[in-house]
Structure 1
């Protein structure tokens, strides 16, 4: 065994010593990862001597106990993988068995010319067989960075162009791909939003629909006597606000522990991802707020010191507590901050 290969890692050393313990496809993948300086097998425009391995037929007439019979290094330091399940020669070979017998007989006398010649075709056939298997395995193509499946999923959720990515929402865009089936369904349901948020943050979630709110009327929509919007029963409105009971919902998160509670606060690392995911799924049609439900046993006492492990934040974590809470606390409701034409 050559030190240059045995030192790659213990797993590759095991491949060389006990190849019969490895499934063929996984063995080739391990060689590709370990020998990155060489080219993958079966690619067009790549010479066989540049590839990570050479595939050979087995001349054994015994019942094959494994897919891979042997892995050894040839004179050019290239791993030679002898396989049992396909090729030109052998019990499962494409050629008539007489050719396998002839090649085996000549090999016993040190003449491997016929065997080596036919293995030229074996190597190419096995290489293309591996490439065909790899082509329809999205996880394998993802490792190589050339898969189309990820792009298709991005298209389903509305992020198919590079201009809409990367990191536009402050989270890893690929983190949304597991929910492509839910996001692609329109219109989005409360159950879909609940499942996405609950799974992404690993917290209990409840969606409370039809939460009423007062909506400020723009100056152009207000009633002005003798000027505009002054037809009774048509467009006249008393006041500068109207009550809307159908364009807002509340996302209740919890009960959760204090660590996760802090993460969802505006100063926490989960606050922006939460807001961005909700906006991405729901769109701009609906308003929302978030209610955090803290476990009763996790409610901290307020300690007025900067050295406190759980230093109080007024309005968020400054609880007036004289005895342990008996019920989960759900006082905190995080409102939508409204900027010019945008909800944050």
Structure 2
């Protein structure tokens, strides 16, 4: 046993050593999962033909009381799985099996005479019965998935219910599934996700308002019998768009460093991640306006170690127009107009909304 456990090595060695020496202290599903992880080149239980699977499952047939799920785990000398696990769970014969007691007594007499053909015949069914039971439990328990948790049915169900896109495979999305579940999704949930995922503390302001286009509806004209019921300001407006106060929200944030600020303006990696996050979060057509600001200790000067620098000057983002007197006085960054940007992949990201 020690030789077999030592051959595996790695992080699984301590657990496998304990499993081989004291198998009765493990749950049946836990033991099968550990053996599958120890033999990643083998097929999982109930996923192969038996001979190419990670473990061979046999029934512990007897009339005595079984105190544990697992009776024994031994090295398999025959071709096929390296280990043989003997368990009384779902056994066809025995004190808890569906076969009558006389059949169990007949099998015990044959085993005493060193004839195990009857037990081997039942083990063919026991391999499949236990395998199907383990597969059913594995679907709903991530702890049994091992490295294949991304393909688990539970993960797919959580992503489908929470509305997370199929391209998102990070474990972080599962941690935020409770924030994606409610409908409609709250602004507070968006602030929490941005702080957790992008390490940026934002302040949200609702009911900022935005213009809503009428679309392709035919315009109405004054006069005529068809338009007698039209009343300006009641069911008719002038123009091709209308102002909707609950159409937009605004996120304002003060970055911790100049590098972080440059990452959250158009062209930065964090800005692209924020676009995708906002686009995946909201289920309805809501405009999100993002207003980042540089750290308070940075000045608007184009020179000096604490300034923004000429090489990275971007008008409206890292540089502003000012009088010569203000420039010489190192005008504080708080007095400048910060950029206001639309977020969301479906919108024209990175376009200033100062005209709103």
Q: Is 1:265 equivalent to 2:265 in the alignment?
A: yes
Counterpart of 1:53?
Answer: 55
Q: Is 1:30 equivalent to 2:34 in the alignment?
A: yes
Give the distance between the partners of 1:7 and 1:318, measured in 2 at CA. 63
Query: Kindly tell me: are residues 249 and 18 of structure 1, through their superposed partners in 2, closer, same or farther at Cα, counting changes over 3 Å?
Result: closer
Q: Secondary structure at the match of 2:51?
A: helix
CA contact (8 A) 2:251 2:288 kept: yes
1:130-279 equivalences under 5 Å are 130-137=134-141, 140=144, 143=148, 147-156=152-161, 167=167, 176=173, 178-211=175-208, 245-254=245-254, 256-279=256-279
Give unmatched runs, 5+ long, in structure 1. Answer: 160-164, 223-230
Residue number among 75, 79, 102 corresponding to 1:76 in the alignment: 79
Count of matched residue pairs: 318
Q: Secondary structure at the match of 1:266?
A: coil
Pick which of 328-337 and 245-254 moved more. Answer: 328-337
1:252 CA displacement: 1.9
1:335 CA displacement: 1.9
Pick which of 74-83 and 312-321 moved more. Answer: 312-321
Q: Secondary structure at the match of 2:134?
A: helix
1:140 CA displacement: 4.8
Query: Kindly tell me: are residues 318 and 58 of structure 1, through their superposed partners in 2, closer, same or farther at Cα, counting changes over 3 Å?
Result: farther
CA contact (8 A) 1:84 1:92 kept: no
Counterpart of 1:335?
Answer: 341
Give the distance between the partners of 1:273 and 1:155, measured in 2 at CA. 21
Q: Is 1:301 equivalent to 2:306 in the alignment?
A: yes
**For 1:277-332, what per-residue CA distance to the aligned partner results, in whole angstroms no more than 9, with x for missing partners?**
323434674433212255546887116476xxxx6655434597989x8x989953
1:208 CA displacement: 0.7
**For 1:155-211, what per-residue CA distance to the aligned partner results, in whole angstroms no more than 9, with x for missing partners?**
44557xxxxx665xxx66886565455445443332333333333324323211233
CA contact (8 A) 2:257 2:295 kept: yes
1:9 CA displacement: 3.4
Query: Kindly tell me: are residues 32 and 331 of structure 1, through their superposed partners in 2, closer, same or farther at Cα, counting changes over 3 Å?
Result: farther
Instruction: Give the aligned CA root-mean-square deviation in angstroms.
Output: 5.5
TM-score in terms of structure 1 length: 0.63
Q: Secondary structure at the match of 2:34?
A: helix
CA contact (8 A) 1:103 1:115 kept: no
Give unmatched runs, 5+ long, in structure 2. Answer: 220-229, 300-304, 321-326, 350-356
Counterpart of 1:113?
Answer: 116
